[in-house]
A and B are shown apart, each in its own frame.
Chain A
């Protein structure tokens, strides 16, 4: 089997009396779209926050391509190619759609004061950002303020911004939340189109229909623990997963 792009090795995270992640272990494999499911409070978003460095794991290791990144800070994880979106869309609302994508350029992020001398490249950079927006059907809104975008467009802009940094792994935190059926179908196509751009995509989602058709593999979590892992149909039929979502008959 190929080396995983990322690996969670016995990762735990506790907030006061709440064990948000409990010895969580799983691999993210090259080329795959990995779906993460679990009821509310299962620890899915905490897992993304630990992966992207917003939270530090209390124990365990986070590995990226055999490199232990557990102790790396948030910005170092971003530079290492871990990109993410947020459950509650977090755009730079007072910046334009184009600027939201331009700001993700890693050359400038890694050398912010060197970017003072980048006048000559401006046209090429804007053209590349427009191409990125075009993939997400947002090019015609490039000069609009991000805060004025409708919900579906805002979701797609967040993905475009994440992709603009040429990440290795893309974590999408409930990308279909609040979307109607038509928007979800479009999103499905958009995420599939991203597949060739990154080494792996991890999608945390409650929309089982979406994950069933989108994911190559599913990981199911409950109470911060992994309860099932494998092909989508098998995981969704797993009795423990069903129990986690629907409860026991006598509950």
Chain B
């Protein structure tokens, strides 16, 4: 039981960061549950149908999902705001329906025999992704992403190819969600399309909003709170979803910019002195 909590908290942190990476360039994605599904199924095919090990299956799934994300991102990212939410939600529905209609991966009954993922795998990846995001936050690329997110038109006028930046960010987020999906699938033993419904995508976005969209620590905090709070109030039985909903609403009312609203600058004056 505790092992499950450790595993799912780590997976949810990776998923939250997958949304955060896309959000860095100013786009919001409600398709990350679908990217998670593609990652889970693709790595499952690699391990169960081709007999390759998990550490081969997950990178293949990540690369394939990144390519898929970038291909659909190219037209989808021409939209913004509510329209992008609708487009990405549509992608989530399409992917789920597509998987349900593919007998090769088990259709609605799902895929079985997926094994090999351990909680420590997830947490090593959490540490690696966290380190990469922290390093990113100290580079000029972070500023280019920030500028694209803040005012895309001005960023373009300055010479930033905002389409390219946004598509790469979208693909990276898709890859990260696919990695989370692959680990999830190989921990669960059996997966079916219902595991990756639209609610998964909605919850992952909520993790980031609850934790705070302005810095990399908000996403893991939101994911941890939203993974562990429902478990800690399990004793409330049928009242549990209602209490959980009220907790989220109160948190967002009290901290509308998330639990960690600050933004860490990518450079400070002291950097000039530090060299």
Contacts and interface: CB of A to CB of B under 8 A. Distances in A.
A143 interface: yes
A172 interface: no
B235 interface: no
A98 B267 contact: yes
Given A92-B147, A116-B139, A118-B139, A123 B157 contact: no
B51 interface: no
Interface of B: 135-136, 138-141, 143-144, 146-147, 150-151, 153-154, 156-162, 164-165, 168, 214, 263, 265-269, 271-275
Contact of A116 (B141, B147, B154, B159): B141
Main DSSP-derived SS at the B contact region: helix
A93 B150 contact: yes
A75 interface: yes
Interface residues of A, number: 47
Contacts of A90: 151, 153-154
Given A99-B143, A99-B266, A118-B140, A84 B157 contact: yes
The 7 closest A-B pairs by CB, nearest first: A78-B159, A123-B275, A115-B140, A108-B140, A126-B272, A79-B159, A103-B143
A122 interface: yes
Nearest to B146: A95
Nearest to B153: A54
Interface in A60-101: 73-79, 83-84, 86, 90, 92-96, 98-99
A223 to B, nearest CB: 26
A219 interface: no
B55 to A, nearest CB: 24
A102 B267 CA distance: 9
A127 to B, nearest CB: 4
B220 to A, nearest CB: 21
Given A108-B144, A130-B272, A122 B157 contact: no
Contacts of B158: 75, 78, 83, 103-104, 109, 161, 165
Contacts of B147: 92, 95, 103
B242 to A, nearest CB: 36
